[in-house]
């Protein structure tokens, strides 16, 4: 396990740009980070309060009620048939992503494949375990040339908002099974899609044929229920793989708090707040997209998730600095991979009023 001087945190990366935006003399509009700002559902906060008296330790795998609630949620979304033994609760999804290569026992001889444009924690976790890392598109030809031990997918993706199709996922699953490769699909944004049919999951029977061998899906309540501060997520899929992993997780004390798990039961059982959130983000996405395209920017993908992925046809450093001078904070795209160095990521975790104001400031600056 090594220590790196690389910046893995977007908040750390943005500190200089934040200072510049605050010196602009304009009211700061923060589109740099993807932390939810809308209220946690009342049914969740009420259950948390009701469950607060919890003097003992919760089960390491998670209480049965929350794992069962997760299975029912997956069945509603994709017709997936999971049992509670196929599910592990996590302390949010980030800790699972960061610790997985280490807990799998991977080392410097092992290769971990991550998305070409990606949330940095996939690489950070591999680095902590001493693994080699390669960034690659989700293409069978490219993957076959490298043969990783662990393959990370992210759908819908951060930063791009691109969702993998059922055809793409099916091909990857078949390829990985033939070679004994573990595929872990980070799907923490999977319910932040436009209102309508859900995005395809690696848990979808059409993708996996009703079997979970070699497959793990990672989900979180941070974004779909505005529960980022609760730190609760789930890993599900290959029961043999998860059972072995859970022994190490238990020994490391990676256990979600009991009252939080009780609150998560309520969140998973309720779809109405999610549908309202989908509509809210769809409205925000449309407003911000309109403001960007009005000044000639190109918006790419961005159909799901919390972000707009866009380019003004110049370097990410120039764009992010130019916006900071307008009091607008955004994340430079190169932070997520070298192919993003002419893009910026803009978060939708802002009010409609602020997103309209972003468009107005950009338009005024062009005149």
pLDDT in tens, 49-93: 999 999 999 999 999 999 999 999 999 999 999 999 999 999 999
How far apart CA 14 and CA 33 sit, in angstroms, is 9
CA dihedral of 191, 196, 201, 206, whole degrees rounded to 10: 160
Averaged confidence pLDDT in the chain:
95
Residue 148 corresponds to which tokens in the numbers above? 């990783």
Instruction: Give the pLDDT of residue 142.
Output: 85
Task: With a cut of 70, say whether residue 4 has pLDDT above it.
Answer: no
| Annotated domain spans of the chain | 10-39+273-366, 42-270
Task: With a cut of 70, say whether residue 5 has pLDDT above it.
Answer: no
Digit-coded pLDDT (tens) for 245-276: 999 999 999 999 999 999 999 999 999 999 99
Instruction: Decide which of 3.90.1150.10, 3.30.420.10, 3.90.1660.10, 3.40.640.10 is the CATH code for 10-39+273-366.
Output: 3.90.1150.10
Task: With a cut of 50, say whether residue 2 has pLDDT above it.
Answer: no
Interaxial angle between packed helices 272-293 and 352-366, expressed in degrees from 0 to 180 and rounded to the nearest 10: 10
φ, ψ for residue 75, nearest 5 deg: -65, -40
Q: Which CATH fold topology does 42-270 show?
A: 3.40.640
How far apart CA 282 and CA 193 sit, in angstroms, is 8
Digit-coded pLDDT (tens) for 149-183: 999 999 999 999 999 999 999 999 999 999 999 99
Burial class of residue 306 (count of CB atoms within 10 Å of its CB; 0-12, 13-18, 19+): buried
Instruction: Report DSSP state, residue 352.
Output: H
Asked if 161 and 198 touch (Cβ cutoff 8 Å), the reply is: no
State the alpha helices, DSSP H only, in the chain.
Answer: 10-13, 15-22, 42-50, 64-78, 92-103, 121-128, 140-144, 166-179, 205-208, 239-251, 258-269, 272-293, 316-324, 352-366
Residue 147 corresponds to which tokens in the numbers above? 């043969």
Digit-coded pLDDT (tens) for 329-353: 999 999 999 999 999 999 999 999 9
Instruction: Give the pLDDT of residue 64.
Output: 98
Digit-coded pLDDT (tens) for 97-150: 999 999 999 999 999 999 999 999 999 999 999 999 999 988 888 888 888 999
Instruction: Give the pLDDT of residue 10.
Output: 83
Burial class of residue 268 (count of CB atoms within 10 Å of its CB; 0-12, 13-18, 19+): buried
User: In whole angstroms, how large is the CA radius of gyration of the chain?
Assistant: 20
Burial class of residue 105 (count of CB atoms within 10 Å of its CB; 0-12, 13-18, 19+): exposed
């Amino acid at each position: 396990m090594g220590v790196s001087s690389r910046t893995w945190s977007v908040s750390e990366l943005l500190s200089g740009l934040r200072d510049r935006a605050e010196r602009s003399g304009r009211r700061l509009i923060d589109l740099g980070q993807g932390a939810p700002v809308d209220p946690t559902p009342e049914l969740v906060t009420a259950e948390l309060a009701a469950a607060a008296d919890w003097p003992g330790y919760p089960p390491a795998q998670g209480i049965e009620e929350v794992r069962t609630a997760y299975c029912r949620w997956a069945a509603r979304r994709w017709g997936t048939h999971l049992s509670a033994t196929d599910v592990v609760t996590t302390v949010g999804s980030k800790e699972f992503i960061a610790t997985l290569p280490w807990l799998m026992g991977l080392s410097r001889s092992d290769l971990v494949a991550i998305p070409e444009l990606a949330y940095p924690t996939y690489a950070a976790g591999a680095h902590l375990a001493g693994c080699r890392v390669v960034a690659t598109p989700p293409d069978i030809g490219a993957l076959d040339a490298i043969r990783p031990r662990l393959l990370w997918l992210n759908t819908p993706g951060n930063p791009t908002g691109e969702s993998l199709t059922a055809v793409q996922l099916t091909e990857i699953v078949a390829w990985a099974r033939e070679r004994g490769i573990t595929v872990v699909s980070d799907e923490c944004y999977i319910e932040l899609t436009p209102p309508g049919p859900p995005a395809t999951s690696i848990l979808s029977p059409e993708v996996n044929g009703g079997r979970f061998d070699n497959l793990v899906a990672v989900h979180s309540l941070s974004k779909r229920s505005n529960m980022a501060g609760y730190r609760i997520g789930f890993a599900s899929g290959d029961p043999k793989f998860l059972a072995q992993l859970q022994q190490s997780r238990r020994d490391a004390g990676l256990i979600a708090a009991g009252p939080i798990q009780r609150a998560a039961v309520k969140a998973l059982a309720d779809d109405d707040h999610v549908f309202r959130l989908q509509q809210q983000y769809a409205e925000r996405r449309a407003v911000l997209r309109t403001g960007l395209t009005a000044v000639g920017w190109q918006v790419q993908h961005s159909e799901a998730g919390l972000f707009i992925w866009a380019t003004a046809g110049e370097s990410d450093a120039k764009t992010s600095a130019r916006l900071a001078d307008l009091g607008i904070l955004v994340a430079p795209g190169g932070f997520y991979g070298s192919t993003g160095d002419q893009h910026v990521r803009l978060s939708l975790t802002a009010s409609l009023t602020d997103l309209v104001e972003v468009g107005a400031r950009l338009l005024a600056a062009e005149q």
